Amino acid sequence: MAISDHELTEAWKTVLALSRLEPEQTVTILTGPNTHPQTLSTAIVAAQAAGAIVNRLDMLPVNGARAHSRDPLAYVGSTPLTGNAAAMAMCKASDLVLDLMLLLFSPEQAEILESGTKILLAVEPPEILARLVPTEEDKARVQAAGRLIAASTEMRVTSAAGTDLICALGQYPAVLEYGFVDEPGRWDHWPSGFALTWPDEGACNGTIIVDRGDILLPMKSYVAEPIVMTVKDGYVTRMEGGVDAELLWDYMEAFNDPEGFAMSHIGWGLQDRARWSTLGLYDREQTIGMDARAFAGNFLFSLGPNTEVGGERNTACHIDIPLRRCTVALDGREVVREGRLIDLEAAQ
């Protein structure tokens, strides 16, 4: 259901206040051909109401001939800012960049952040943004999870379906996504609500069962029959199952890049207002599936790049797969049990 401009403007005001936007600061809004006009117009009004100096930087699309779908996460890496020194200078001269285009997994994003500029990504439909406005409580919950990740050397994930995966931790930092950017050089995504990290290189082994009802992204589909993945030394070496397994394998093979089969980020959802079922209510091109990534108690794992945390695996293939009903343990301490969150404060 559509929402009013007033409601979305108020949501933006809340997020910008949480992001510590101050009068006379400069906000640059990155837009592209798929930017939602209501998201853009209300962002401008809210930023101006906060006393900011607001610019809009509209970029032309790239990768259209390379991507295998219209989803903005179907091909990651090069962006409209690649090789665009003028646009990069504008972003780095800003206090806050509102990314309504999607720069994820790009060297340009990392360079902008290194300059001290904050980046907030917001590309979901307006009604999803309004339903999942972040809070300080979201931040506290995600930070608690991040502290546990940072103090751990191993993550083990099991399930009644047969998942048994062990990943060594410590090479890469914990990444916290709680929906706003309240520190210089911080990136976040509205909406979100999860904590994650990357396993040590070559140190992830076991079996993952993508069971019925689990979700494949960017396909944005619920799995109809189980997919059995064999993980050896940090790479998925085999996928077995029915049509879902064949479709996923064929899609990934099309990138002609073995690094696309590497284990990428691992973590779990912490957003109790996000729902597993929401993806079934939208056409595929309407959403990138943030409810699926963030719903409380999922185990979210990814295949592909690790450049977000300083790694060198810059593959264009990026797969996110949230699983239900898993148990996630850090150094033997359960943080999710059979798809249900455990009180993190009590677990510390």
pLDDT of res. 72: 77
Q: What is the enclosing helix (H) or strand (E) of 246? A: helix 243-253
Q: Above pLDDT 90, what percent of the chain?
A: 87
Indicate whether this model's pTM tops 0.75: yes
Structure tokens at 152: 């751990």
DSSP labels, 57-71: EE-----TTT-SSSS
Chain position carrying tokens 């339903």: 131
Output b/e per residue, 197-219; b: 16+ Cβ within 10 A: bbbbbebbbbbbbbbeebbbbbb
In this prediction, residues 150-161 reach a mean pLDDT of: 98
pLDDT over threshold 50, residue 249? yes
Q: Could you report the per-residue pLDDT of 62-89, keeping only the tens digit for each?
A: 877 777 777 777 777 688 999 999 999 9
pLDDT over threshold 80, residue 348? no
In this prediction, residues 178-197 reach a mean pLDDT of: 98
In whole angstroms, give the CA distance from residue 348 to residue 345: 5
pLDDT over threshold 80, residue 128? yes
Q: Is 244 helix (H, G, I), strand (E, B) or coil?
A: helix
pLDDT of res. 34: 92
224 vs 347 pLDDT, higher one: 224
Q: Is 39 helix (H, G, I), strand (E, B) or coil?
A: helix
pLDDT over threshold 70, residue 292? yes
Peptide bond into 23 cis (omega under 30): no
Q: Which of 223, 194, 218 is nearest to 208 (CA)?
A: 223
pLDDT of res. 78: 80
Domains belonging to the chain, first-starting first, are 5-131 (3.40.50.2300), 136-347 (no CATH)
In this prediction, residues 47-56 reach a mean pLDDT of: 98
pLDDT over threshold 90, residue 11? yes
What is the number of other CB atoms lying within 10 angstroms of the CB of residue 293?
Answer: 26
pLDDT of res. 105: 79
Peptide bond into 80 cis (omega under 30): no
The model's confidence at residue 312, banded by pLDDT at 50, 70 and 90, is: confident
In this prediction, residues 282-297 reach a mean pLDDT of: 96
Q: Could you report the per-residue pLDDT of 85-102, keeping only the tens digit for each?
A: 999 999 999 999 999 999
pLDDT of res. 46: 98
pLDDT over threshold 80, residue 113? yes
The model's confidence at residue 345, banded by pLDDT at 50, 70 and 90, is: low
Q: What is the enclosing helix (H) or strand (E) of 139? A: helix 136-150
Q: Could you report the per-residue pLDDT of 315-339, keeping only the tens digit for each?
A: 999 999 999 999 999 999 999 999 9
In this prediction, residues 154-179 reach a mean pLDDT of: 98
Structure tokens at 284: 């595929």
